[in-house]
Amino acid sequence: MNRNERMTMMAELPVPQVLLKMSLPMMISFFIQAMYNIVDSMFVARISENALTAVSLAFPMQQIVTAIAVGTATGVSAVWARHMGLGERDKAGSSIRTMTGMSLAFTVLFIILGVTVPGPLYRLQTDVAEIAEMGALYLTINWCLSCGSIFGKYYERLLVSAGRATLSMAAMASGAVFNLIFDPLLIFGLGPFPEMGIAGAAYATVGGQIFAVFVAVALNMKYNEEVKRDMLKPGFVPAEAMAILRVGLPSIITMGLSSLTSFMINQILLVYSTTATAVYGVWMKLQNFCYMPSFGLNNGLVPVLSYNYGIGRKDRINEAMRLSVSAIGVLMVALMIIFEIVPGTVLTMFNAGEMMREIGMVCLRACVLSLPFGAVSMILSTSMQALDHARYSFVINIMRQCVLLIGSFFLLSQLTGSIRMIWFAVPFTEIVTFCLSLLLYRQFRKHLNI
């Protein structure tokens, strides 16, 4: 849609419809993204529990690539759109070429890291030789071939900026389908393919990402006239690079903190057993999957709140907030109930042995209690960010994703020494964050008089 149609939709279309229209494509896109890690882990678990542990330990490191890719892609889409809105087509082209150059530089950086870091990093975390060997191989492949993730997020976000969110979703879906097909073929050596084990899982993942890049490039070339001249031409304009990073850095920091948190918690859990780390990896995949509707709704909610705040429609702001909190709260309660009932089924999907089931049943039943509180906190935090109170959002995210979570795991480990009790750090963190979010949200509403 063009700019006038978008403005009319934001101001006049019934709020439930505009939220659905803005959020649904992003919900599906995030769901597809979550499938990469879930599918990988499910097939890897068929190799052995050590293989699942190795992949779980790699997850925080993979997220570093995702953080940089998502943050800079968000930055360039905002900078490019601003230049286009001001009629600065030359600068818009410079921002695209600069992002292509930056993406190449990030790719080279992760090739260097992939060759040098994974082995020592795994040996630092575990003395189980099989886990260290498999994990280092898996991470090396993911980092050395990270071009698919880096360029994929970039080209998909250009489609979104051009109003082609459905095409962006199609590009992501193509990669997920590739991964789903090739995971079993390369891991277990089906048909003409060699049996590659955990390396096959890594190649299927990066192969899916690279395939999605080619699809996104083709779609941009066909449907995004404004960028096709520049998106394959690397360049570097310092002013454009700084503008991209100014917008993208908060996302990079937030996701980077999440990676750091996962790494630190893995170190705490390794004191108990490598199985505990594998179980936490399963929970992280399940949590990401459950929060996909929240991430999608957040992406749709931000422009609705920002636009209506700009035109003074406080009634639509309040309605959007009520609907978002109510919808996500009901959905998360439903998911919580479902997973409280069937944690064993989830663990079966990951080929859990007796010890993993014993630890995992307690873990999942404790952790899923956090879902409603965490999802509502995310909606409240995003609303504050959208309405010029980013400092409140920053406090909530730091507490939720880093300080409280690491602190809770550490304290429960020290105080109880029990692998059964330590999982309650997750709901404790989300409940405390929920209370903090409510307090800041009330203060924020007073400031804005809404």
Residue 37: inside a domain: no
Percent of the chain with pLDDT over 70: 97
Q: Residue 357 pLDDT > 90, yes or no?
A: yes
Question: Residues 244, 326: one domain?
Answer: no
First to last CA, the chain: 30
Is 361 exposed, middle or buried (CB count within 10 Å of its CB: 0-12, 13-18, 19+)? middle
* Rounded average pLDDT over 340-362: 92
- pLDDT value of position 404: 95
Whether residues 251 and 341 fall in one domain: no
**Contact present, 259 and 64 (Cβ < 8 Å):** yes
Q: Which of 36-40, 122-126, 292-296, 417-421 comes out lowest in average pLDDT?
A: 36-40
pTM greater than 0.85? no
Average pLDDT of the segment spanning 275-292: 91
Torsion, CA 129, CA 130, CA 132, CA 137, rounded to 10: 140
Among 75, 69, 124, 117, residue whose Cα is nearest residue 95: 75
* CA 257/CA 254 separation, integer angstroms: 5
Tell me, yes or no, whether 11 and 67 share the same domain: no
The pLDDT value recorded for residue 185 is 95
User: Are residue 306 and residue 408 in the same domain, yes or no?
Assistant: yes
> For residue 337, which of 309, 372, 298, 382 has the smallest C-alpha distance?
372
Do both 322 and 356 map to the same domain?
yes
| Confidence band for 9, pLDDT divided at 50, 70 and 90 | low
Domain that holds residue 254: 45-269
Least-confidence region, from 70-74, 300-304, 320-324: 300-304
6: pLDDT strictly greater than 70? no
Residues 263 and 281 in one domain: no
Contact 179, 150 (CB under 8 A): no
**Section 311-337 average pLDDT:** 90
Q: Are residues 207 and 60 in the same domain?
A: yes
Range in 2-11, 164-173, 267-276, 380-389 the model is least confident about = 2-11
* Mean pLDDT for all residues in the chain: 88
Q: What is the pLDDT of residue 8?
A: 62
Do 111 and 225 lie in one domain? The reply is: yes
The reply to whether 257 and 279 lie within a common domain is: no
Last residue of a domain, one of 269, 293, 309: 269
pLDDT band, very low/low/confident/very high, at 10 (cuts 50, 70, 90) = low
Residue with tokens 């870091």: 117
Instruction: Band the pLDDT of 409: cuts 50, 70, 90.
Output: very high
Nearest by Cα to 349 from 45, 59, 54, 35: 45
How many structural domains is the chain composed of? 2
Residue 4 has pLDDT above 70, yes or no: no
pLDDT of 423-437, one tens digit each?
A: 999 999 999 999 999
Chain position carrying tokens 């040996």: 123
* Joined tokens for residue 72: 């800079």
Asked whether residue 290 is domain-assigned, the answer is yes
Does residue 278 sit in the same domain as residue 257?
Answer: no
- Give helix 274-310 / helix 371-386 axis angle, nearest 10°: 40
In tens, the pLDDT along 233-263 reads 899 999 999 988 887 887 788 778 888 899 9
Residue that finishes a domain, picked among 234, 254, 269: 269
In a domain, 6, yes or no: yes
pLDDT of residue 277: 94
As given in the structure block, the two tokens for residue 135 are 């994990």
Is the pLDDT at 3 greater than 60, yes or no?
A: no
Classify residue 137: in a domain, yes or no. yes
Task: Evaluate whether residue 40 is within a structural domain.
Answer: no
Residue 7, pLDDT above cutoff 80: no
Q: Tell which of 220, 235, 269 closes a domain.
A: 269
In a domain, 39, yes or no: no
Band (187; pLDDT cuts 50, 70, 90)? very high
- Note the Cα 156 to chain centre separation in Å: 15
Is the residue at 366 inside a domain? yes
Q: Is residue 32 part of a domain?
A: no
The reply to whether 242 and 293 lie within a common domain is no
Residues 325-349 have pLDDT tens digits of 999 999 999 999 999 999 999 999 8
Residues 101 and 10 in one domain: no
